[in-house]
Amino acid sequence: MAMDHIDRRILESFQADARCRNADLARELGVAPSSMLERVRRLEERGYFKGFRALLNPKKLGYGVQALVSVSLAAYRTKTIHPFEEGVRRIPYVRVCYHVSGRFDYILLVVARDVDHLGALVKQQIASLPGVDRTETFIVFSEIKSDEGYPIPEEEKGGNGPKAKGRLSRSVGQEAGNAERKAVSKGRHPNRIRAAR
């Protein structure tokens, strides 16, 4: 089942702030709270949400240094790969580990309290993992762009909904027009209905 424009707006809203309330989001998107709750539940069941968690400030936790550490294995074999990957998962200062193509086998994103801590982390914990041949460390000077989530794919051409975000009001008006046409086709002209009230 394909997403429509409202589903896309829901995903955008939750990526921006996972604390957004169902009632507020329903009011913003012009749908009933019960419908909004059902849509969120359906997106969750279909696997669009991997989880919900807070983003912590690393400096408040005492981490003043971030670095990328490239790792090359001595032998690219299963008996070397598995022990290395299991060891990386046990190091709490490794935030992310990517298995990559190119001249390195892995790239790690790590945090440390300071440069001394980073040096000890690389030499004593990462470089000593099974199968590691060499490492190269790149200290992050500044973060130009933070992780803002994934871009939500636009609806494919030929779809029933709008192509890009920001078109919700137009679509709501189209839905209202469709409802009005249905009423006319059943002999219940909306103007007459309102006049009778």
158 pLDDT higher than 60: no
pTM above 0.85, yes or no: no
CA–chain centroid gap for 163, Å, is 20
Q: Does residue 163 contact residue 154 with C-beta atoms inside 8 Å?
A: yes
- pLDDT digit string, tens, across residues 107-116: 999 999 999 9
* Token output for 95: 């935030």
163 pLDDT higher than 60: no
* Token output for 88: 């990386």
Better pLDDT: 101 or 184: 101
Predicted confidence at residue 2, as pLDDT, reads: 81
pLDDT mean over 125-149: 96
In order of 9, 159, 178, the CA distances from 175 in angstroms are 17, 15, 5
Predicted confidence at residue 1, as pLDDT, reads: 63
44 pLDDT higher than 90: yes
Virtual CA dihedral for 99, 104, 105, 109, nearest 10 degrees?
A: -50
Predicted confidence at residue 108, as pLDDT, reads: 98
In order of 4, 175, 178, 190, the CA distances from 181 in angstroms are 22, 10, 5, 9
- Going by C-beta distance under 8 Å and a sequence separation of 6 or more, which residues neighbour residue 91? 121, 125, 126
52 pLDDT higher than 70: yes
Which residues are paired to 69 by β-bridges?
A: 108, 137
Better pLDDT: 185 or 113: 113
Domains assigned to the chain: 1-55 (1.10.10.10), 65-139 (3.30.70.920), 167-197 (no CATH)
Q: What is the mean pLDDT of the chain?
A: 84
pLDDT mean over 67-90: 95
Better pLDDT: 114 or 180: 114
pLDDT band for position 133 (50/70/90)? very high
pLDDT mean over 25-54: 94
* Token output for 105: 């086998």
Better pLDDT: 170 or 65: 65
pLDDT mean over 7-36: 94
Q: Identify the CA nearest to 85 among candidates 102, 71, 101.
A: 71
Predicted confidence at residue 154, as pLDDT, reads: 82
Predicted confidence at residue 168, as pLDDT, reads: 40
